[in-house]
Amino acid sequence: MDKIISLCKRRGFIFPNAEIYGGFAGFWDFGPLGVSLKENIKNLWWKTFVFEREDMYRLDAAQITKSAVLEASGHVSGFSDPLADGSRFNTMFKTSAGAGDDAQIAFLRPETAQGIFTNFKNVVDSFHPELPFGIAQIGKAFRNEISPRDFLFRSREFEQMEVEYFIRPKEWENAFEMWRKIIHEWMSAVGIDSEKVHELEVSDDERAHYSKRTIDFEFDFPFGRKELYGLAYRTDFDLTNHSKSSGTELTHLNEEEKEKIIPHVIEPSLGVERTILAVLLSAYTEDELGGEKRVVLKLKPAVAPVKIAVFPLLKNKPELVKKAREVYLALRKELSSSTSLGANAVAFDDNGNIGKRYRRQDEIGTPFCITIDFDSLEKHDATVRDRDSGAQERVKISELSAYLKKTLK
């Protein structure tokens, strides 16, 4: 963990929050590369869980939640951790909305799910979806953890990637198995080491109050085997409770059978920060290349914050720098427009000698480095170096874009 934390700060992935004031436990800031890594992971989640399906709807609900919502969901009475003296401490951040006598008690939401349930009727009335269908959301959640620890694993501010998948009660087992399979496919896509992943069937006395069945996907972190993701069968608990508390009917009408039901729910819940931590731990490698020891992040190209770095062989040769920048700008224009590669897919690097640049790019997980040398000026080609193997190949500059698009798939 110390090596990962050090690398993240040194290379601009993740910084301690308010570090110049001594830090603020449980809060982390994402640097330039961390933002790109996070966005790539979230974009891949949208692609896997939403865009590749025809039964999904997106949502972005407010982060401040009315007290009545969390009373109905059971969070006000039951969302707590034990203190050392045996009393309970509610881990929600409490606030108020409005001023004076008009102020209302509110909370920073402890999960994104309730915003989906309270908007269930709005989505149904607007789009008239047939069951089964899902509502998906990525958003911040907040928990006033008593003891935040283990870097990104347990923090007080974090992002969740969640789906509430609405089904007929008799379909829950098939839907549960479908999402279980999708979560495994997702972990492979982002580069989480499958050998470090384990399924835990959560026992009756350990499950959340709303769940009839829960599987935790656990990961072998350096500090132990801990929960990475959760898959829960929430039954009709949330819609039923919100219907009773609000006085609003939260049902779904089957147009063909003219049957009204309160749908049941399958919830795949994934944390952004825990995903980032598992991805970094899976990718972190110490090996030897060309007789020298190195640290390399063997990130999947889909999530790597930088896909391609372009170098001039020598910084003090204007003709090499000029040509390298021409190649860099051309590739940036051609490749950064691709949503699969990301807006910051291509970087220019002339800091230090070529060996230092390779080591720096290896540490941030850049799959390919392109070097413009003196031969490039005459033969109009460049050296393309593979991050994992260190193998180098000469490729015509005019063919670089097509070569990289094919290789980065």
Q: Which of 155, 149, 151 is nearest to 2 (CA)?
A: 151
Provide the residue ranges of all domains of the chain, joining segments of one domain with +. Answer: 2-60+120-280, 306-407
Q: How confident is the model at residue 209 (pLDDT cuts 50, 70, 90)?
A: confident
CB atoms within 10 A of CB 375: 13
Q: Which of 243, 85, 255, 229 is nearest to 163 (CA)?
A: 229
Confidence at residue 135, expressed as pLDDT on a 0 to 100 scale: 98
Q: Indicate if the pLDDT at residue 198 is higher than 80.
A: yes
Confidence at residue 43, expressed as pLDDT on a 0 to 100 scale: 95
Question: What is the rounded distance in angstroms from the CA atom of residue 207 to the CA atom of residue 211?
Answer: 6
Q: Is it true that the peptide bond before 222 is cis, omega within 30 degrees of 0?
A: no
Between the alpha carbon of residue 366 and those of residues 83, 216, 305, the distances in Å are 45, 32, 7
Q: How confident is the model at residue 337 (pLDDT cuts 50, 70, 90)?
A: low
Helix 318-335 crosses helix 400-407 at what angle (to 10 degrees)?
50
Question: What is the rounded distance in angstroms from the CA atom of residue 328 to the CA atom of residue 311?
Answer: 8
The residue-averaged pLDDT of 111-137 equals 97
Helix 32-46 crosses helix 272-283 at what angle (to 10 degrees)?
110
Fold match flag (2-60+120-280 vs 306-407): no
Between the alpha carbon of residue 408 and those of residues 273, 314, 324, the distances in Å are 24, 27, 21
Q: How confident is the model at residue 258 (pLDDT cuts 50, 70, 90)?
A: confident
Q: How confident is the model at residue 343 (pLDDT cuts 50, 70, 90)?
A: low
Which residues touch 101 (CB under 8 Å, ≥6 apart)? none
Question: What is the rounded distance in angstroms from the CA atom of residue 399 to the CA atom of residue 327?
Answer: 11
Q: Indicate if the pLDDT at residue 339 is higher than 60.
A: no
Question: What is the rounded distance in angstroms from the CA atom of residue 13 to the CA atom of residue 29?
Answer: 9
Q: Which CATH architecture has domain 306-407?
A: 3-Layer(aba) Sandwich (3.40)
Q: Which of 230, 218, 363 is nearest to 289 (CA)?
A: 363
Options 3.30.930.10, 3.60.9.10, 3.40.50.720, 3.40.50.1370; CATH of 2-60+120-280: 3.30.930.10
Q: Indicate if the pLDDT at residue 101 is higher than 90.
A: no
Residue 334's identity, in one-letter code, is E
**What is the reported pTM?**
0.94
* 52-64 confidence digits (pLDDT tens): 999 999 999 999 9
* 261-283 confidence digits (pLDDT tens): 999 999 999 999 999 999 999 99
**Inter-residue contact 262 to 250 (CB < 8 Å):** yes
Residue 9: both structure tokens together = 């700060």
* 274-328 confidence digits (pLDDT tens): 999 999 999 999 999 988 999 999 999 999 999 999 999 999 999 999 999 999 9
Confidence at residue 87, expressed as pLDDT on a 0 to 100 scale: 76
* 142-196 confidence digits (pLDDT tens): 999 999 999 999 999 999 999 999 999 999 999 999 999 999 999 999 999 999 9
The residue-averaged pLDDT of 100-122 equals 95
Rg (CA), the chain: 25
Question: What is the rounded distance in angstroms from the CA atom of residue 368 to the CA atom of residue 358?
Answer: 10
Q: How confident is the model at residue 86 (pLDDT cuts 50, 70, 90)?
A: confident
Residues paired with residue 165 on neighbouring β-strands, in sequence order? 134, 266
3-state SS, residue 52: coil
Q: How confident is the model at residue 78 (pLDDT cuts 50, 70, 90)?
A: confident
Rounded to 5 degrees, what angle do the CA atoms 226, 232, 233 make?
Answer: 160
Question: What is the rounded distance in angstroms from the CA atom of residue 314 to the CA atom of residue 182?
Answer: 47
